[in-house]
Amino acid sequence: MADLNPDRTLGDLVAENPALAGAFEALGLDFCCGGAQPLTAACREAGLDVATVARLIEHLPAPTSSGPAAAEPDLRAMSLTELVDHIEATHHAYMHEILPRLGKLAAQVAAAHGANHPGVRDMEEVLAGLNAEIMQHLGKEEQVLFPAIRVLEQNNGNAAFHCGHLSNPIRVMEFEHDQAGAALKRLRSLSGGYALPADACETFRAYYAGLQDLERDLHRHIHKENNVLFPRALVLCGGADAERIGSRAG
């Protein structure tokens, strides 16, 4: 990635090169809920030297037909309908699979290790709340917002919604994304960065590994909606609200 402009947003950079997602996570830069923030400002808030980060990013390989980023499609080339279908088939399906499994592991770990590691009891509570919130969130998207976006594209931006302007449900989804992001940070904090204790059993190990997988997937899930899908849908709608969020589209 030559000639990187550090004034570009984190979300736009990850949309262009999905390999940056892992790099930003390692640096503690929020490219999902905070994806509208320019790299310069994000580095300043994180206490990082933007020139050093920019050099690191510039030396990352560009996306190719093979490698870790190969599974990610070019989001910018997809229609809104294709993008919605991709998010449902990839990330929504994954949430429906992993959250119940992690809930069972959380209960087992809390029962077996809660006395020596009380933090896992708090983690079980946080995860239960996150599970309930995400399940409701997915239902709203699948039943209300995503069908509206499909209709919007089919009608070239001319569509009326019972919820008013499309920005109304999008604002709700963005707020709920922020709540989910806060829960992920809480889980990471309670676990000490998912550092396994010396007495961790295989169930404990599977639990922490699963939570890290959840975190990685949800970061990418929120990024695709906040920084790609929602801005493009709002631009198609037109109006002042498109200008408010549409700058994220890049």
Instruction: Quickly state the pLDDT bin for 166 (edges 50, 70, 90).
Output: confident
Q: Are residues 127 and 37 in the same domain?
A: no
Task: Give pairs for 148-152: CB < 8 Å, separation 24+.
Answer: 149/80, 149/81, 149/84, 149/229, 149/233, 150/80, 150/81, 150/84, 152/80, 152/233, 152/236, 152/237
Q: What are 6-18's pLDDT values in tens digits?
A: 889 999 999 888 8
Examine the domain organization and report whether 27 and 95 are in the same domain: no
Same domain for 57 and 97:
no
Buried b (16+ CB within 10 A) or exposed e, 86-101: bbeebbbeebeebbee
My answer on whether 189 and 151 are in the same domain is yes
Residue 120 shares a structural domain with residue 89: yes
Residues 43-94: pLDDT tens digits?
A: 999 999 999 898 887 776 655 444 444 467 889 899 999 999 999 999 999 9
Number of domains making up the chain: 2
Q: How far apart are CA 145 and CA 154, in angstroms?
A: 14
- Domain span at 192: 77-249
The residue-averaged pLDDT of 19-43 equals: 91
Instruction: Indicate if 61 and 107 belong to the same structural domain.
Output: no
Average pLDDT, integer, range 203-221: 96
Domain boundary among 39, 71, 103: 71
CA distances from 148 to 26, 84, 231 (A): 36, 11, 14
Is residue 55 within 8 A of residue 10, CB to CB? The reply is: no
- For 152-196, strand residue ranges (E) read none
State how far the Cα of 186 lies from the Cα of 180, in Å rounded to an integer.
10
- Give the model's confidence band at 229: pLDDT under 50 very low, under 70 low, under 90 confident, else very high: very high
Tell me the residue type at 20. Answer: L
Residues 195, 238: one domain? yes
62 and 186 in a single domain? The answer is: no
Q: How much is the pLDDT for 157?
A: 64
Cα 4 from Cα 14, distance rounded (Å): 12
Q: Is residue 54 assigned to a domain?
A: yes
Provide the whole-model pTM.
Answer: 0.85
Question: Quick check: 98 and 214 in contact, CB under 8 A?
Answer: yes
From 155, 183, 176, select the one nearest 230 (Cα to Cα). Answer: 176
